[in-house]
């Protein structure tokens, strides 16, 4: 199982917001934590590290990577892993995560989150690499489901069966990206709620929420919109199942002001509280509750 840290609601730290984040010591930003893209902070100096240090002094930080390439047949990039370990040592993040995907082949990088076939061969391969990463980092990691646009004919299990088995084999946690579930469900014609309902409750350590866009008949995980109503509904459903799990708003392209992104996080806080209250009413049992908010 994965012991869920009581973090609350966070947003992604983005370059365009650095100045606003650092400039408001007297008027705290209404978020509980920041997620940073690990890859953007691996070089040793300059403004990125300065900002990260300043943010870490005021908030919990979680490290979210995009390049571990857990599913690639290329050898695990040990230099990248060393750099991640060094960053984690310095930042002491509440969570370290990356994706269920691959991104390199023959030493070349696509800089994308490419999908895997859900086969026993892929499962054994990814599991061995997750174990190696956890061994090197000396901690559990969270593995995130990605949005995908292709499904492989050779898959012998569903994505959620794959994730469940990965958790069981490696004791890693899962980062459940609710928007990615919605996008992939649309693109491949499966039931998003069936996905959510099949993921083991004790594995999910973080939620992601983001906006997506439409390309023809497909949905793309573009992080360039507010969270869509259908994804809010799915989030409500996920909170009812998993309880108070740290929730992040991801917004990358067409990035609005810091205030607007924080508003989206505040909305997530409200939706989660509502979902927790109604699920407690329905069952008579309180699910994992929101942590008390620390005064700042």
Partner 1 sequence: MPRADGPALAELQRRFFELVTAPEGVATELAARGLPTSALAAIIAGDARATAVERLDVYANMYFFRILDVLRADYPKLLAVVGDDAFHDLATDYLRAHPSRHPSLRFVGAALPAFVARHALCLERPWLAELAALEWARVDVFDRADAAPLAREDLAVLAPADFATLVLAPVPACALVPATWTIEETWRAVEDGGAPGPPARADAGHAVLVWRAGVTVRHRAVAATERRALELLLARTSFGALCAALGDEVESEEAAARRAAQWLGQWLADELLARA
Nearer to partner 1, 217 or 285 (CB): 217
- How many residues touch partner 1 under the rule CB under 8 A: the total is 53
DSSP assignments along 51-102, one per residue? HHHHHHHHS-EEEE-S---TT-SSPP-HHHHHHHHHHHHHH--S-EEEESSE
Q: Which is nearer to partner 1, 156 or 198 (CB)?
A: 156
Q: Cα separation of 43 and 53, whole Å?
A: 13
Backbone region of residue 4 per phi and psi (left: phi > 0; alpha: psi in -120 to 50; beta: other values) = beta
Q: Name the residue nearer to partner 1 (CB basis): 9 or 14.
A: 14
Among residues 122 and 142, whose Cβ is nearest to partner 1? 122
**Going by C-beta distance under 8 Å and a sequence separation of 6 or more, which residues neighbour residue 80?**
42, 67, 68
Closest CA to 239 of 276, 202, 198, 206: 276
User: Is-contact 204 174, C-beta < 8 A?
Assistant: yes
Give the residue with the Cβ less far from partner 1, 137 or 220. 220
Should residue 152 be labelled a site residue for partner 1 when binding is judged by CB under 8 A? yes
Binding test (CB under 8 A) with partner 1, winner from 189, 284, 292, 295: 189
Where on the phi/psi map is residue 163: left (φ > 0), alpha (ψ -120 to 50), or beta? alpha
Q: 66-85 mask for partner 1 (x: CB under 8 A)?
A: -x-x--xx---x--x-----
Instruction: Rule CB under 8 A: say whether 213 interacts with partner 1.
Output: no
Name the one range near partner 1 by CB under 8 A: 175-183, 210-218, 274-282, 283-291: 210-218
Binding of partner 1 at residue 155 (CB under 8 A)? Answer: yes
Query: Which positions touch partner 1 (CB under 8 A)?
Result: 39-40, 42-50, 67, 69, 72-73, 77, 80, 102-112, 114, 116-117, 119, 121-122, 125, 149-158, 187-189, 215-218, 220
């Amino acid at each position: 199982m994965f012991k869920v840290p009581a973090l609350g609601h966070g947003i992604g730290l983005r370059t365009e917001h650095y100045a606003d984040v650092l400039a408001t010591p007297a008027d705290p930003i209404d978020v509980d934590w920041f997620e940073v893209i690990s890859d953007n902070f691996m070089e040793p100096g300059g403004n990125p590290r300065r900002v990260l240090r300043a943010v870490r002094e005021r908030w919990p930080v979680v490290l979210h990577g995009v390049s571990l390439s857990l599913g690639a047949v290329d050898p695990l990039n040990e230099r990248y892993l060393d750099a991640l370990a060094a960053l984690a040592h310095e930042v002491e993040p509440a969570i370290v995560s990356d994706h269920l995907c691959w991104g390199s082949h023959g030493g070349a990088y696509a800089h994308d989150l490419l999908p895997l076939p859900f086969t026993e061969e892929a499962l054994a391969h990814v599991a061995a690499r997750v174990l190696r990463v956890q061994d090197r980092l000396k901690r559990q990691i969270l593995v995130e489901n990605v949005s995908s646009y292709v499904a492989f004919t050779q898959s012998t299990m569903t994505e959620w069966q794959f994730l469940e088995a990965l958790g069981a084999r490696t004791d890693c946690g899962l980062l459940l990206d609710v928007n990615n579930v919605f996008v992939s469900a649309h693109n491949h014609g499966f039931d998003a709620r069936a996905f959510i309902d099949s993921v083991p409750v004790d594995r999910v350590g973080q939620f992601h929420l983001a906006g997506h866009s439409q390309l023809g008949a497909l949905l793309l995980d573009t992080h360039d919109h507010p969270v869509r109503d259908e994804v809010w509904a799915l989030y409500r459903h996920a909170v009812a199942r998993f309880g108070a799990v740290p929730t992040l708003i991801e917004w990358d392209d067409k990035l609005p002001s810091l205030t607007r992104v924080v508003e989206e996080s505040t909305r997530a806080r409200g939706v989660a509280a509502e979902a927790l209250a109604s699920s407690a009413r329905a069952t008579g049992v309180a699910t994992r509750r929101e942590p008390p908010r620390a005064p700042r």
